[in-house]
Chain A
C-alpha cells in the first residue's frame, strides 16, 4: 500500500511538470475536436491521433495520449447531447435525456454535468484501478459464459426503462433490434442467418450504422417532415448556461451510482460499456424525484450514464493492465498506445515496469482534470452551435453522419442500410415507437445468445448450469426480482388502497 502511494506520488510529480501539463492540454483539445465528429467515437479518435504522440518523449506522449483519450470520450458525449448523434453505443443513454435538455435550452447544464460527472467517475475509477486491480481481476475471470448470460438477463429487464409509455411498443422496438442482431454469420457454427446471399451482410449489422441511422438521419427526416407545423426554433440557452444548485443536487448522487455500475462491469472481460450506462439510466429513472421530467430532459439521466461510461472505461484498464486483455475498442487502442513505449501489458507489467504503470495512472488523473479546465469554458461555445440556421445545421449533421460510414465501410450496401435505418427511425418517431430499444436489442441479443449457447455447449446441453454457478444464480434472482417487484408493489399498493 505504501509503495503504491509512493509510486503514484512519483508519477504525479512527473505529470505535473509545466511542459507535460501543456501536452495534456493539447491532447485534450485534439481529442475533443476529433471526438465531436459523429460516428467517430473515442476509440477511433485515439487511433487517428495516436501518431501525433510518437514525436514526443515517453512521459510527454503518455500524457498527451491520456488527454486525447479523455477528450475523445467527452467529444462523443457532446454530439450525443447537442445533435442526438451518439459517437458510439456507450453514449447512447446520454443522448436520451441529454438531447432533450439541449432542445429545451438546457444544453449547458447537460454538457457540464457530463463533463463533471466524467471527471468524478474517472477519478474514483482510477483510484479503484490503482488499488483494487489485482483483486478485481481474480473475480473477473471467474465469470463464465453462463454468468454473462445471467448478466444479460438483468440488462434486458433494465431496458424497459427506455420503453416509454407503452410496453407493447417498447417490446416491438426491442424485437426489431433482436431481429437485426440475428443478421450475419452465427458465431458458434459459422452458418449465415438472414443474409439472403449478400456477402456484405455476413458480418452483421454494425451498431454505429444503426445508431447513426436511427438517431441522426431519422431525426433529420422527422424534423423536416413537421416543419410546416411548428417552425421549431432552437434556443441554445434558456435559463442558466451553468448548472444551478438544484442541478448539482440532482447530479452528484447519479455520478456516484453511475461509477458503481461502470467500474466493476467495465472490469469484466466481456462486460462492456453499454450495459452499465443503461443500468445507470434505468436506476436514475426509478430513483428520481422528478419522474415527470424523464423523456423531457432530466439531468440525472445524463449524469448517471455519463459517469458509468467513464468509469467503465477505467474499468477496462483492469483486465488490460493485469492480464493484457483488451476488452473494448478503446482498450485495444490503449494497448497500441502502450506498445509504442515497448510496454507489454500482462501479468508481469505491474511487477516489471511499475514506473510506467503509475506514470500512466497519474497521467489519467491529470488529463481528466485538464478536460474540465478546457471544456467547461467551451460549453457556451458548443451550445451556440445549435444557433446555426436549421437548414445548414441538419445538412451538416447528415454530412457528418454519413461521413462516419463512408470512412469506415464505403460500400453501397452499408450506405443503403444507413439510409434504410434513417427511414425506420423516421417511421418509428412518427408512429411513437421508442428508438433506443432497437439499438439495445442489436447489442445485447447476440451477446446473450452466444453466451447462453457457449454455456450449454460446455455443459453438454444441461440448462442446470445456469443455476449451478453461484454468480449466475444470484444474477438471475436479481433479474427475477426486478421483473416481478413492480407488479408486486403495485398489487400491494392496491391492496392497501382497498383496505382504507
Chain B
C-alpha cells in the first residue's frame, strides 16, 4: 500500500517535469538511478536533480530510472554491477541505505561506489503527547534510566533513521541501547496516531512531518537533533539540554565504481554547479529541504564515518550480527 502511494507521487511529479522547458545542447547526458519506487524521498531527490540539472543547462538530458527494493539493496547491487566505469551514471542514496545494506547482508556495500556529494538533510525530532508528564530531554532521559523497557518509542521501519536515533538517545543518556523498546510502524501516519492516542511514550520522526501537530499543541517537541538551533525552529536541541545526540537524515548522490579521476571531477563539478543554481534553490524551498551540500573528499570521509556509526548502532541493538 505504502509503496504504491509513494510510487504515485513520482508519477505525478514526472508529469510536471515533462512540461518543463525544452532541452538545450549540452555535453552531459546522465542516467540517474533512484533505488526506490517513484514517490519516496530518494525518487523525489532524483527527479528534483533532473529538473535542476536540465533547467540550469548543466546536462542536456537526465533520465531517471527507478529500481525499488529492500531499502535500496536491489538498486545498489544493479548499479555497482551494471554501471561500473560509466562516467554518465549517478545514483541517489541516503542514511537509510546504510542500515538497509547492513541488515540485508547485502554483498554490495557503500565502500564500492564513488562518493560524489551530500545534497540535503533533515533534522529529527522526539515528541510526546501533549498530556505526557515528560517536558524536557532530561525528563525523558530520567524515564529511560529508571526503566528502559517501559519507555516505548514509536517511529518508522526497523533499522531506519528513527530506530537508530532511539538507540543513540538511550546510549547518550547512559542506558543500554540494546534494551530500547522501539515499536516500528509502517509509514502513512500510523505512528502519529499511536502517539496522539498516547499508546506509546514518545515518537521519533523527521521534523517537518510533525510540525503541524507541534504548532497546534497536540504534540510536545522534546528536542531536535541539529548541532545548533535552526532559524525558525523554536525547539531546543538535545545538545543544549545536555544530551549528546546529533543526527540528520541526509541524502546524497554517488557514482559507479571504477570511474576515472577525470570523470569523477566532471560529475562532482556538475553537481556543485547544480547545487548553486537558482533552480535547485527554488526546489529546496518548495520542498522544505535543507541544503547540506558537502562535496568531494569531505563527503567521502563523512560517508565512511556515518557508515561506521550506523553499523555500530545496529549491532548494539542486535539488528546486525557482529
Contact = CB atoms under 8 A, between A and B. Distances in A.
Interface in B1-56: 1-9, 11-12, 15-16, 19, 37
A388 to B, nearest CB: 29
The 8 A-B residue pairs with the shortest CB-CB distance in the complex, in nearest-first order? A47-B8, A325-B189, A346-B212, A329-B5, A332-B5, A202-B70, A51-B15, A190-B158
Instruction: Classify the secondary structure of B's interface with A.
Output: helix
B197 interface: yes
A44 B38 CA distance: 12
Contacts of B63: none
13 contacts: A46-B8, A47-B9, A187-B157, A189-B319, A190-B157, A199-B70, A202-B70, A270-B190, A324-B212, A329-B2, A332-B6, A347-B218, A348-B216
A390 interface: no
Contacts of B249: none
Interface string B190-211: 1011101101100000000000
A483 interface: no
B104 interface: yes
B194 A187 contact: no
B184 interface: yes
Contact of B74 (A54, A199, A330): A199
B138 interface: no
B181 A457 contact: yes
B199 A458 contact: yes
Residues of B in contact with A, size category: 35 or more
Residues of A in contact with B, size category: 35 or more
A326 B157 contact: no
A413 B215 CA distance: 45
Contact of B194 (A145, A408, A409): A145
A140 interface: yes
A296 interface: no
A140 B3 CA distance: 24
A169 interface: no
A347 B12 contact: no
A348 B70 CA distance: 36
A429 interface: no
B292 interface: no
A346 B216 contact: yes
Contacts of B193: 140-141, 143, 269-270, 319, 323, 325
Given A348-B215, A458-B199, A47 B70 contact: no
Contact of B183 (A44, A141, A327, A457): A457
B68 interface: yes
Nearest to B11: A47
B5 A333 contact: yes
A193 interface: no
B212 A348 contact: yes
Given A51-B16, A190-B157, 11 more contacts: A43-B5, A48-B11, A188-B184, A190-B158, A199-B70, A269-B190, A269-B192, A344-B212, A346-B216, A408-B37, A460-B150
Given A187-B158, A199-B104, A269-B193, A326 B5 contact: yes
B33 to A, nearest CB: 14
B235 interface: no
Contacts of B8: 43-44, 46-47, 329, 332-333, 336
Contact of B184 (A47, A187, A319, A326): A187
Nearest to A351: B216
Nearest to B14: A51
Nearest to A454: B183
B152 A187 contact: no
A325 B16 CA distance: 25
Contacts of A333: 5, 8-9, 12
Contacts of A46: 8
A50 B104 contact: no
B87 interface: no
A142 B212 CA distance: 20
A334 B109 CA distance: 37
B115 interface: no
A185 interface: yes
A165 interface: no
Contacts of A50: 12, 15
Contacts of A460: 149-150, 181
